[in-house]
């Protein structure tokens, strides 16, 4: 019997970097006999297979960033400017991982000037009209995509350890709706993406303000009621506050599309076993047997 249709939208870079650092402890980098580094791809594959086993999707898509220049860097030159260069051993794995994803018969989706988040946001809106959507990531920014048909699956430390956010869980754990999550990032900024928000306002204060006044607009309409120090901080950073909210907002109208028929999860286990043998992922070849489409 066919399960209810469900698409897994994979945040490719989040899995790849997590795979790299999880598989480079003690300075040991997994390589093929020919010397090609594969530790990040190996980790990526393990995470992908585990998620497919856990959530049993009927459709899968993988989305990617395409370098540092995006519509956000046009608005704010320092956006993500603090990011270090990728480790040398990562560089050959960026192309390799996309070949592996194609080997799973999964579409690789990206678009110049947009981040993977924007591709995922856009596809989640398009595909949620047809089926349930699960977004697989380690990035809490994606929580703004949660709605009645979209759940965000945050990978936590350890194997098969996921936090699955729907509207209720988001409200219960973070006290905020998905839309308020964007306003939260506008207020507190994001150190990993290198935008400041309102200096001196932390998550606790920002959450309290949003619970009380619902939105940045609500807060600004009630500035007179705020404690003097909070009011002064916000007034001093009004322009930055609005800019940071723009930077934090995932675009759901990126120029990407993928029809349900184009992303059916139809892995070919013989092809995958052959690919794993070539990559010398011998310990994973035995896991391929689970890939029998229901």
Residue 294's pLDDT is 42
Does 1 map to a domain?
no
Cα–chain center distance at 73 = 19
Cα angle value 196/172/199 (rounded, 5°) = 15
Residue ranges making up the domain that contains 241 = 174-248
Residue 24 sits in the same domain as residue 64: yes
pTM as predicted: 0.95
> Do both 100 and 149 map to the same domain?
yes
Flag whether 268 is in a domain.
yes
| Domain match, 186 and 202 both | yes
Claim to verify: residue 237 and residue 262 sit in the same structural domain: no
pLDDT of residue 263: 97
Same domain for 98 and 150?
Answer: yes
Q: What percent of the chain has pLDDT over 70?
A: 97
Q: In this structure, are 216 and 124 located in the same domain?
A: no
Looking up residue 38, the CATH number of its domain turns out to be: 3.40.50.1010
Report the domain count for the chain.
2
192-243 pLDDT, tens per residue?
999 999 999 999 999 999 999 999 999 999 999 999 999 999 999 999 999 9
Same domain, 237 and 254: no
Is residue 20 within 8 Å of 74, Cβ to Cβ?
no
| Statement to judge: residues 53 and 192 lie in one domain | no
Dump pLDDT digits (tens) for 106-137: 999 999 999 999 999 999 999 999 999 999 99
One domain, residues 218 and 89? no
Copy the structure tokens of residue 1.
């019997």
Mean pLDDT of the chain: 94
The reply to whether 119 and 194 lie within a common domain is no
Mode of pairing for the β-strands spanning 162-165 and 150-155:
antiparallel
Rounded to a whole number of angstroms, the CA Rg of the chain reads: 21
Banded pLDDT at 1 (limits 50, 70, 90): very low
Band of residue 24 on the pLDDT scale cut at 50, 70, 90 = confident
Per-residue model confidence as pLDDT tens digits over 27-74: 889 999 999 999 999 999 999 999 999 999 999 999 999 987 899 999
- Do 152 and 178 belong to one domain? no
pLDDT in tens, 237-260: 999 999 999 999 999 999 999 999
Tokens of 58: 């009927």
CB-CB contact of 156 with 139 (8 Å): no
Banded model confidence at residue 291, pLDDT cuts 50, 70, 90: low
């Amino acid at each position: 019997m066919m399960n209810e249709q469900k698409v897994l939208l994979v945040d490719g870079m989040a899995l790849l970097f997590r795979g790299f650092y999880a598989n480079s402890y003690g300075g040991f980098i997994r390589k093929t006999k020919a010397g090609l580094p594969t530790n990040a791809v190996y980790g990526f594959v393990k995470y992908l297979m585990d998620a497919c086993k856990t959530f049993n999707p009927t459709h899968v898509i993988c989305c990617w960033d395409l370098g540092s220049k995006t519509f956000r860097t046009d608005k704010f030159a320092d956006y993500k400017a603090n990011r270090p260069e990728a480790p040398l051993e990562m560089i050959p794995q960026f192309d390799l991982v996309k070949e592996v994803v194609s080997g799973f018969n999964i579409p690789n989706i990206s678009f110049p000037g947009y981040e993977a988040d924007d591709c995922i946001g856009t596809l989640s809106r398009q595909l949620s009209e047809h089926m349930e959507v699960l977004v697989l990531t380690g990035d809490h920014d994606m929580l703004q995509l949660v709605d009645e048909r979209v759940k965000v699956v945050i990978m936590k430390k350890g194997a098969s350890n996921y936090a699955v956010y729907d509207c209720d869980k988001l409200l219960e754990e973070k006290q905020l709706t998905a839309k308020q999550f964007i306003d939260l990032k506008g207020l507190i900024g994001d150190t990993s993406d290198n935008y400041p928000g309102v200096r001196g306002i932390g998550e606790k204060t920002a959450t309290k303000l949003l619970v009380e006044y619902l939105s940045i607009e609500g807060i600004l309409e009630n500035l007179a009621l705020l404690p003097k120090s909070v009011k002064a901080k916000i007034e001093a950073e009004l322009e930055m506050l609005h800019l940071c909210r723009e930077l934090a907002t995932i675009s759901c109208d990126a120029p990407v599309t993928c029809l349900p028929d184009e992303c059916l999860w139809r892995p070919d286990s013989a092809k995958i076993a052959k690919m794993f043998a070539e990559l010398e992922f011998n310990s994973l070849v035995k896991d391929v047997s689970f890939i029998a489409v229901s």
